[in-house]
Structure 1
Amino acid sequence: MCHILVIFDRINLRVNMKLKYLIISFLILTLTYSCGQKQENVIAIDVLLTLPQDVYNQAVALNKSVLENNPNNFTLDAQHIPHITLIQAYVNESDVPEIEKVLEGLYETIENETLLVDKLQYNKGQEASFASMGIEKSEPLMRLHEKVIKILEPFSLSNGSQASYVQNEDGTPIDDFTFAYVPKFVSDHSYENYNPHISLGVADTSVLDSLETHKFRPTKFMAPTLALYQLGNYGTARKLLWESK
């Protein structure tokens, strides 16, 4: 909290009361504005599509198998929901109500479209690899992805801080990968580079081979909602800010 301390008895100036009043008013307005600017809170957000129960359950089951092989992963659950990211960005928290307004109506462009989980994505040439459930890049999904980028452009900021994220329960800091990924989402991971997916975590490739053969199921589905979340560690969707009706 900013404090303004004006002590005129320490200043050996002969000014009338009216001038003193003008000086005090100017200082208060200037410093209050400055303090207000410093207090602006920047948050990391994810505009995403939620999943129907069958796809949600498959993602949670696959993530559980990944965790059994490598516990140093995020856990998909009600506090870290599996999802399909459309965009990640930093924005001023004060802009969230306006962002919610511009997102209104966008779900109607995708609600009747059939999406497809078409493959288990991972690097088969490595001993261990990050894995995800790949989503087919259909025209309706790509149009929505590009539309969301366009309407969020006026709100997007170049960087945030540790405080921009929902904090880890164990007190550990947000990882460096997340910091590097979010501000470069549009430049490095969008448009022709966009890879719609449901993240599962890192596991041994032999484990992922087994999951691909025995547990992964290609699935057609419709997304239940479009939503806005505050991000947590590893790009997890942690805090629901808004959801389409």
Structure 2
Amino acid sequence: MKKYLIAIGLGLMIFSCTPKEVNIIAIDVLLTPSEEMHAQAIYLNALMKQNNPETITLDENHIPHITLLQCFINEEDLPKVNNALEGLFSTIENDSLKAENLFYYKEKEESFAMISVEKSQQLLKLHEKTIELMKSFILKNGSDEAFIQNPDGSPISESTVTYVPEFVEKHSYENFDPHISLGVAQKTLLDSLASTIFKPIRFKATSISVYHLGDHGTAQKLLWKSE
């Protein structure tokens, strides 16, 4: 009986010492734009889809957004992340944001396009504060499994996987580039959209949210939203 109890005790010790598996997910802490700005982004993307059906689709499952931070975290830390971000939206909710232009690479026949958003002092401070609040939760060792997988079974692009852990180092602070991604289309179409469809407008954010990321930086699954 004594040997049996010792064996159980040793078994429990081994089990308790086994490292707990960490489930890493890729997230986007983002601003959602006003209804008017949202509608313009959806419309521009729909026109680009007619030109290039393979580009990203903006819809209720791939929302237009302004990224404040992309990173890997332990999924178990999500409640702590949400608590850390609580109240942050109040620092930006009354501020006016500006959609400045339709940006794309004019020297290329086909280009990624986005709506450039003015990097105001308020927006830059919000970006920096977001990183400060999130710093203790950020992980570096995420993989393609951290993303929402593509429905067609195709792998998550390598550029997507490498972009996320480099966000703070390469795409933040003085390199922060606020924008709303639209997708890829032919330059001739983008020229037309820039001159006849795109409207530079002022708008407000409707929330700060945390989304589970999919391929190409798409915000696919809502995990948390500011009140």
Q: TM-score, normalised by structure 1?
A: 0.89
Percent identity between the aligned chains? 48
User: Which of the pair has more CA radius of gyration?
Assistant: 1
* 1:37 equivalent among 10, 15, 20: 20
Corresponding residue of 2:215: 233
* 2:11 equivalent among 27, 35, 55: 27
Matching of residues 1-245 of structure 1 within 5 Å? 17-18=1-2, 21-34=5-18, 37-38=20-21, 40-245=22-227
Q: CA RMSD in A?
A: 1.3
| Partner SS for 1:166 | coil
Task: Tell me the CA shift for residue 23 of structure 1.
Answer: 4.5
Task: Tell me the CA shift for residue 19 of structure 1.
Answer: 5.3
Task: Tell me the CA shift for residue 237 of structure 1.
Answer: 0.5
Kindly tell me the number of residue pairs found equivalent between the two proteins: 227
Question: d(CA) in 1 for partners of 2:215 and 2:17?
Answer: 33
Task: Tell me the CA shift for residue 27 of structure 1.
Answer: 3.2
| Partner SS for 2:20 | helix
Question: d(CA) in 2 for partners of 1:171 and 1:32?
Answer: 37
Task: Tell me the CA shift for residue 242 of structure 1.
Answer: 0.6
Task: Tell me the CA shift for residue 161 of structure 1.
Answer: 2.2
Q: Which residue identity lines up with residue 131 of structure 1 in the other structure?
A: A
Task: Tell me the CA shift for residue 20 of structure 1.
Answer: 5.1
Task: Tell me the CA shift for residue 225 of structure 1.
Answer: 0.5
- Please give the per-residue CA displacement for 1:18-42, whole angstroms capped at 9, x wherever unaligned: 45533432333333442x522x211
Question: d(CA) in 2 for partners of 1:80 and 1:66?
Answer: 15
- Please give the per-residue CA displacement for 1:55-81, whole angstroms capped at 9, x wherever unaligned: 001001111121111111110000000
| Partner SS for 2:184 | strand
Task: Tell me the CA shift for residue 203 of structure 1.
Answer: 1.1
User: Which segment is superposed worse, 76-85 or 62-71?
Assistant: 62-71
Task: Tell me the CA shift for residue 168 of structure 1.
Answer: 1.6
Task: Tell me the CA shift for residue 202 of structure 1.
Answer: 1.1
| Partner SS for 1:50 | strand
5+ residue gaps in structure 1? 1-16
User: Which segment is superposed worse, 167-176 or 229-238?
Assistant: 167-176
Runs of 4+ aligned structure 1 residues displaced above 6 Å come to none
Q: Which residue identity lines up with residue 112 of structure 2 in the other structure?
A: F
